[in-house]
Amino acid sequence: MDNRPIGVFDSGMGGLTTVRELRKQLPGEDIIYFGDTGRVPYGTKSRQTLMKYARQDIRFLLQFDPKAIVVACNSADTVRAAVAPEFDVPILGVVESAARAAAAATVSGKIGLIATETTIRSGVYEPILQALRPDAVLKKQACPLFVPLVENGRTEPGDPVLELVVEEYLSPLRDWNCDTLILGCTHYPLLSQVIGNFMGKTTKLINSGAEAAESLVRYLESEDLLSAPAHRGEYRYYVSDAPDSFAGLAKGFLGRELDGTVEQVEIGQF
C-alpha cells in the first residue's frame, strides 16, 4: 500500500475530466492537479515547446513525491515517450489507453480519431493501433475549434455554432461509417452528447481521460500501490494563471463543485 498522491497535469481544464474518472474509480487516492492555464492551449504549440512545458509540469509535480503521474492531455502526451525516461517516476498517458480501448472496441476495424492539430500531426496513435490491431484503419480529423468552444461553455445540444462545427468536422467520419471514435482530447468528453447524437448509436465513443484512469487503476493494483483502505482522498489544484476563475470553470469538467484548494504556481521556474 502507498498513500502518496497521484499527480495529474494538463494544459488547463481538460485534464479534470480524467480527475473526474479517477475520483470515481479511486475515491481513496490523493490527487495533485496542475493546469497550465497561463500557457493554455497546448494543442496549437510545437513539439519542442510541448517538451519544455511537459518537463516543467512534471518537475513541479515531483515536489509532491507522487507514486505516479498522468499526462491528462493528448497534446502533451505526444511528447511523453521522449520526456518520460528522464524522470524516475511512472508516467502514464491518455493516448495509449485510448488506443487500447479503441482496438478492443472496434468490430469493423474502422476507427475515427478527433483531436487537436498537434495530436493529429504527431501521428502518435498510429503505431499503437497498428501493433494492437494490424487490420484496423484509422481516419483522422483535427478539430481546432472544439477546445475554444468548450472553454467558452458551448457544449450543449442545440447550440447552433457548435452543431454546425460538429457537422463540418464529423461528417467525413460519419459518412465513412467508423464504428469507434476516439475523443483524442480531454476537452471533448464535454461534447459527448452532441458528438454522440451526430454520429449515432452505432458509433462507440472512446473517452481518453476515462481510459487513462482505468489504466492507472490497473497499474496501481498490479504494483500494490493503492492507498490504504481507510485513506480518504484529498485534492489540491495548482494553476499557472490566476486561480479565481478556475473554480467556476472547473465544475463543467469535474461534474461537481471543486473541493480542494487552488493555488497559483510560477511554472516557468521549474
Cα 44 from Cα 114, distance rounded (Å) = 15
143 is catalytic: no
Question: Catalytic one among 73, 92, 111, 142?
Answer: 73
| Selected range binding a copy of itself among 24-32, 33-41, 186-194, 222-230, rule: CB under 8 A | 33-41
If one counts every other C-beta atom within 10 angstroms of the C-beta of residue 223, the result is 12
What is the sign, positive or negative, of the torsion defined by CA atoms of 106, 207, 24, 60? positive
Using the rule CB under 8 A, is 85 a contact of a copy of itself?
A: no
- Which one among 168, 221, 234, 263 touches a copy of itself, defined by CB under 8 A? 168
73 is catalytic: yes
How many residues are listed for the chain in this entry? 270
Beta bridge partners of 184: 115
Q: At closest approach, how far in Å is the CB of 148 from a copy of itself? A: 4
Cα 54 from Cα 83, distance rounded (Å) = 8
Q: Contact letters (x/-) for a copy of itself, 139-158, by CB under 8 A?
A: -----xx-xxx-xx------
Nearest CA to 1 out of 63, 67, 62, 65 is that of 67
- Which one among 161, 171, 221, 248 touches a copy of itself, defined by CB under 8 A? 161
- Which one among 164, 172, 176, 223 touches a copy of itself, defined by CB under 8 A? 164
Beta bridge partners of 9: 34, 71
- Which one among 47, 55, 59, 236 touches a copy of itself, defined by CB under 8 A? 47
Nearest CA to 256 out of 16, 55, 94 is that of 16
Residues that bind a copy of itself (CB under 8 A): 37-40, 44-49, 144-145, 147-149, 151-152, 160-161, 164-165, 168, 240-242, 244-245, 268
